[in-house]
Structure 1
Amino acid sequence: MRAVYIKDLSTWASEFKFSVPVSVRFSETDMYGHLNNTVPFIYFELARIEFLKEIRLMNNWLDPKGASFPVVADLQCDFVKQVFFDEKLEVFVKIATVGNSSVDIHYMGKNDKDEIVFTGRGTMVQIGRQTGKGIPWSEEEKILFVN
């Protein structure tokens, strides 16, 4: 594994607690039956949103009168094993670090043989609807991220 955000793979992988199941659809594959290289980003979004709903942060951002919302500032995926049509995957998500108005999120995809097929990371920033600038996390939000 060459992903620079992973220091020790077994420790890193053992820290994931939240996941969502995914079945690879035919439309998500290329002409060779491989998972298209853009699709893990969609899986990351699915897992991230479900995680944020689980920790009860999504409701604030979905309120049209809310003062802030999240944006993805960067996102990367590292491919480890081939994935094919109709495979069953588990896509994991965890918070790696919490900044002032940003959070670094890590992702891991595993197949039904419990093999890692892809990993990823990305930064999400909370910004103000009116200003478009970063809004610091409240202490309550920081606690939600780390618990």
Structure 2
Amino acid sequence: MKPDYIKDLETWKDEFQLFFPVSVRFSETDAFGHLNNTVSFVYFETARIEFFKETGLMQRWMSRTGENIPVTADLQCDYRKQIFFDEKLNIGVKVAKVGSSSLDLHYVILNENKEVCMTGRGSIVQVSKKTGKSSAWETDIKNILGNLVNL
């Protein structure tokens, strides 16, 4: 079953430019020997944080003087192929859409044969540290993110 955020799987997969390698650890598998279903969300987080570091946004948000932080509003994973201990994976992340204070990210997990094992999507909202409410992207951040849409 194809998720509604993907029109054509191959075209969608080819749009990913940023990938982060991961090896499946024994502790990430379950009693059936395959990757535990919760670990995909950890992999998505890892790719998301590395993506934010590469764009310089993570450092800005982590600054003591930063007024805003990114918050995960929702996260979804669709499982397509089992993954087992010691498999070498590549976790892809891309910007799908930039809103006034939100960001939609898409994720893909590929095995060594470049087969799609999992797909995912999630929304990030920039939130004010002071008010706890959504806060519009600063112009420079919106420009950085806008330039990354479907690269």
5+ residue gaps, structure 1, are none
Deviation at 1:65, TM superposition (A): 2.5
Deviates more, 1:124-133 or 1:9-18: 9-18
Partner SS for 1:35: coil
User: In the alignment, which residue of structure 2 is the partner of 1:7?
Assistant: 7
Distance 1:29 1:39 in 2: 9
Runs of 4+ in structure 1 off by over 4 angstroms are: none
User: In the alignment, which residue of structure 2 is the partner of 1:66?
Assistant: 66
Partner SS for 1:64: coil
User: In the alignment, which residue of structure 2 is the partner of 1:122?
Assistant: 122
TM-score, with length taken from structure 1: 0.97
5+ residue gaps, structure 2, are none
Identical pairs, percent:
55
Residue 139 (1) aligns with residue 139 (2): yes
User: In the alignment, which residue of structure 2 is the partner of 1:80?
Assistant: 80
Amino acid at match of 2:19: S
Distance 1:109 1:94 in 2: 12
Number of corresponding residues:
147
User: In the alignment, which residue of structure 1 is the partner of 2:94?
Assistant: 94
Amino acid at match of 1:69: I
Amino acid at match of 1:99: G
User: In the alignment, which residue of structure 2 is the partner of 1:47?
Assistant: 47
Deviation at 1:9, TM superposition (A): 1.1
